[in-house]
Amino acid sequence: RRLKNFFVITVVGLGTYYGYRSYRRYRWFNDMSDFDKTSGTKPRVVVLGTGWAAVPLLKHIDTQKYEVVCVSPRNYFLMTPLLPSVSVGTVETRTVIESIRSLIGPRVKFIESHCINVDPKAKIITCISDGEQTVARGDNVKAVIAPSGRTDGASSRIIKDSARVRPEFQMKYDILVVAIGSENNTFNTPGVEEHAHFLKELLDARRIRSAISDAFESAMTPTQTVEERKRLLHFVIVGGGPTGVEFAAELADLVREDLQTYFPRLVANDVKITLIEALDHILSMMDKQISDYTERHFHRENIDVLMNTFVKEVKQREVIIQLKDSNELKSLPCSVVVWATGIKARSLTNKLREIIGLNIQSNRMGLLTDQYLRVKGIDDGSIFALGDCATIQTPKLVDRIQSLFEEADTEHRSALDLQQFRTLVEKKITEFPQLEIFSKSVEKAFTEADKEKSGYLTLAALRSTLEKADHKIRALPATAQVASQEGRYVADLLNQLTDTQLNHFEQQNLKPFRYKHMGSLAYVGGDEAVVDFTGSKPLLDIFKLKPMSGRSAAYLWKSFYLTEMFTGRTKTLLAFDWVRTHVFGRDISRY
């Protein structure tokens, strides 16, 4: 009887919950004005992009108030943190994407296109279908290759000509939101574009999955020499940031959990995974404890980590490396090379910087914005930039610190006791949001400044070290967390505007953007993860959270991504994929 009651309550509860959600979704889709019904009657907001910054904005912007148009070459949202899982088959491709149309409904007009130019004076954008060259492949089928190589989702698709007809168009905007993300940075290293895989788009992950399968099948050919087999099964990852680390971890899982069963001899004798990092530790943006833990963990997982090693060139069957402080070059024969050395600005970002003027837009990493995320140098404030393509220009940290220093140093000795200084900073922390996030760099600057270990800091010494660190300290990290908070912020900001006077925010009592760091996570393999709460003030202060590593961190990692998935469909698919991989293993066939 109890069981029956429990069952009835659960079914009724879930039924009501999902019924209510479906009703809300129905209302959301249908009651909100259909774009085409009201077109031309409201100010037009054009959003470029369908990534981490654009989607929260599109979901929350008030379409009763604005006519919203989204332009992007990718008609889906991609759950980028799960790409390493997709590249080895732990998670399937359809699980990590969500159609943009199902996320925004008909209230926003979506146009699948590539914005190639912005005219801020006339307030017009120019778009083309994909920005691709087409290469004949058979009668009416063409392979499309993006000039930017593998960085764009649209590259190398086989398409039917008759369906893909997208003439160039121009569109006027009242407000433009640039949320176009970033692209892979190769640092102009020779051979990377041609021979290495990136891990930024879905297609990259699919290519890597096929390449791993190819390497094992090639190694099984009876005529292969031992040397060639070893080369085929040597996988190299360049870059010890979170992307490189997570991919290495997933690859080691694939080898241990699945490939070992199917290729026991190859795994025992020939498989090798090497992670190459130019700095002296991996995951350098996280707490030192976490870097050390990950290095020890990788050692147990048979992943070779080469630190202080720089990749100079990638060739078809080898990478050329150079050790720090040595002129000697060494060759590592290998097959699959994954390049994860960070990101750089896209060409449209740079074009816009040039149009505005490089004297104002002086940061090569992206578009400089003010505290309200409005692009610097656009007088009427009609262009916003967010996510990876933007950098907020905050007052120089070093200048703020100097003012604090002067305030504290009432006796004009120009030297402060470190503790005294910290107490002062602690009090003023609300004026110093960057201090929380970059506390590690600031602490380092303190220690470096206080070389004589006298316990006192002179203003001059502190200033000179902070000047060097200032560039790093001022930029927010290029993460999904920053991008989505910025997207949500701009939606709320635009919804609150009483008029479209975009350059009078201060008078309208609007709050500037303030980033709330909730910690960083990374999967390190073997059902373990690492979590760093540095800079995450409420979590650190209230719950006294310390860096976490191991299985508990992996549960946190999994629950976090499960809740982060945008819809019930992808949440269900992800849960199923994890269970399927656990019970039946990964599908290792190439397709």
Is residue 552 a contact partner of residue 546, using CB atoms and an 8 Å limit? no
Handedness of CA 423, 425, 431, 434 (dihedral sign): negative
Nearest approach, Cβ of residue 342 and ligand NAI (Å): 3
Nearest approach, Cβ of residue 310 and ligand NAI (Å): 5
477 is an interface residue for ligand NAI by CB under 6 A: yes
Q: Using the rule CB under 6 A, which residue among 180, 278, 416, 553 binds ligand NAI? A: 278
396-435 footprint of ligand NAI as x/- string (CB under 6 A): ----------------------------------------
User: In the structure encoding, which two tokens stand for residue 239, read together?
Assistant: 């870059």
Q: Using the rule CB under 6 A, which residue among 48, 276, 397, 416 binds ligand NAI? A: 276
3-state class (DSSP) for residue 434: helix
Q: How many Å apart are CA 297 and CA 538, to the nearest integer?
A: 29
Nearest approach, Cβ of residue 482 and ligand NAI (Å): 9
Q: Considering only 218-226, 234-242, 451-459, 483-491, which stretch makes contact with ligand NAI by CB under 6 A?
A: 234-242
Nearest approach, Cβ of residue 205 and ligand NAI (Å): 13
Q: Using the rule CB under 6 A, which residue among 238, 252, 573, 574 binds ligand NAI? A: 238
Q: How many Å apart are CA 379 and CA 166, to the nearest integer?
A: 33
Nearest approach, Cβ of residue 391 and ligand NAI (Å): 12
Q: How many Å apart are CA 38 and CA 65, to the nearest integer?
A: 11
Is residue 252 a contact partner of residue 302, using CB atoms and an 8 Å limit? yes
340 is an interface residue for ligand NAI by CB under 6 A: yes
81 is an interface residue for ligand NAI by CB under 6 A: yes
Is residue 462 a contact partner of residue 403, using CB atoms and an 8 Å limit? no
Nearest approach, Cβ of residue 343 and ligand NAI (Å): 5
User: Beta strand pairing status for 329-333 and 318-323?
Assistant: antiparallel
191 is an interface residue for ligand NAI by CB under 6 A: no
Nearest approach, Cβ of residue 382 and ligand NAI (Å): 28
241 is an interface residue for ligand NAI by CB under 6 A: yes
Residue list 352-371, contact with ligand NAI (CB under 6 A): none
Q: How many Å apart are CA 298 and CA 525, to the nearest integer?
A: 8
490-529 footprint of ligand NAI as x/- string (CB under 6 A): ------------------------------xxx-------
3-state class (DSSP) for residue 99: strand
Nearest approach, Cβ of residue 62 and ligand NAI (Å): 31
Q: Using the rule CB under 6 A, which residue among 179, 271, 343, 497 binds ligand NAI? A: 343
Q: How many Å apart are CA 427 and CA 420, to the nearest integer?
A: 11
Is residue 132 a contact partner of residue 147, using CB atoms and an 8 Å limit? yes
Q: Where are the alpha helices (DSSP H) in 150-222?
A: 192-195, 202-219
Strand partners, 245: none
Nearest approach, Cβ of residue 81 and ligand NAI (Å): 5
478 is an interface residue for ligand NAI by CB under 6 A: yes
183 is an interface residue for ligand NAI by CB under 6 A: no
Nearer to ligand NAI, 113 or 151 (CB): 151
3-state class (DSSP) for residue 534: coil
**Length of the chain, in residues:** 591
DSSP code, position 65: T
Is residue 377 a contact partner of residue 363, using CB atoms and an 8 Å limit? no
Q: How many Å apart are CA 239 and CA 365, to the nearest integer?
A: 18
Q: Where are the alpha helices (DSSP H) in 47-151?
A: 54-60, 83-88, 100-104
Nearer to ligand NAI, 120 or 242 (CB): 242
Size of the site for ligand NAI (CB under 6 A): 28
* Measured CA angle at 299 (ends 79, 535), to 5 deg: 50
100 is an interface residue for ligand NAI by CB under 6 A: no
Q: Using the rule CB under 6 A, which residue among 111, 128, 279, 418 binds ligand NAI? A: 279
Q: Considering only 10-18, 159-167, 276-284, 530-538, which stretch makes contact with ligand NAI by CB under 6 A?
A: 276-284
Nearer to ligand NAI, 107 or 207 (CB): 207
Residue list 537-576, contact with ligand NAI (CB under 6 A): none
Is residue 238 a contact partner of residue 279, using CB atoms and an 8 Å limit? no
Nearest approach, Cβ of residue 321 and ligand NAI (Å): 8
Residues 6+ apart with CB under 8 A from 491: 56, 57, 58, 59, 60, 61, 62
Residue number of the CB closest to ligand NAI reads: 241
Nearer to ligand NAI, 143 or 323 (CB): 323
Q: Using the rule CB under 6 A, which residue among 30, 133, 284, 331 binds ligand NAI? A: 284
User: Beta strand pairing status for 109-112 and 67-72?
Assistant: parallel
Q: Using the rule CB under 6 A, which residue among 67, 270, 277, 470 binds ligand NAI? A: 277
State how far the alpha carbon of 31 is from the alpha carbons of 17, 23, 59, 102, 436, in Å.
Answer: 21, 11, 15, 16, 43
Q: Position of tokens 């994954």?
A: 338
Nearest approach, Cβ of residue 346 and ligand NAI (Å): 14
Q: Using the rule CB under 6 A, which residue among 63, 155, 243, 382 binds ligand NAI? A: 243
Handedness of CA 158, 233, 205, 571 (dihedral sign): positive
Q: How many Å apart are CA 490 and CA 137, to the nearest integer?
A: 44
Is residue 143 a contact partner of residue 156, using CB atoms and an 8 Å limit? yes
Could you count the other beta carbons within 10 Å of the beta carbon of residue 317?
Answer: 15
Q: Considering only 158-166, 239-247, 450-458, 488-496, which stretch makes contact with ligand NAI by CB under 6 A?
A: 239-247
User: In the structure encoding, which two tokens stand for residue 469, read together?
Assistant: 């660190």
Q: How many Å apart are CA 185 and CA 341, to the nearest integer?
A: 7
Residue list 308-337, contact with ligand NAI (CB under 6 A): 310-311
Nearer to ligand NAI, 338 or 404 (CB): 338
Nearer to ligand NAI, 476 or 493 (CB): 476
Q: Considering only 204-212, 232-240, 427-435, 536-544, which stretch makes contact with ligand NAI by CB under 6 A?
A: 232-240
275 is an interface residue for ligand NAI by CB under 6 A: no
Is residue 389 a contact partner of residue 366, using CB atoms and an 8 Å limit? yes
531 is an interface residue for ligand NAI by CB under 6 A: no
244 is an interface residue for ligand NAI by CB under 6 A: yes
Residues that bind ligand NAI (CB under 6 A): 81, 187, 189, 238-244, 276-279, 284-285, 310-311, 340-343, 477-479, 520-522
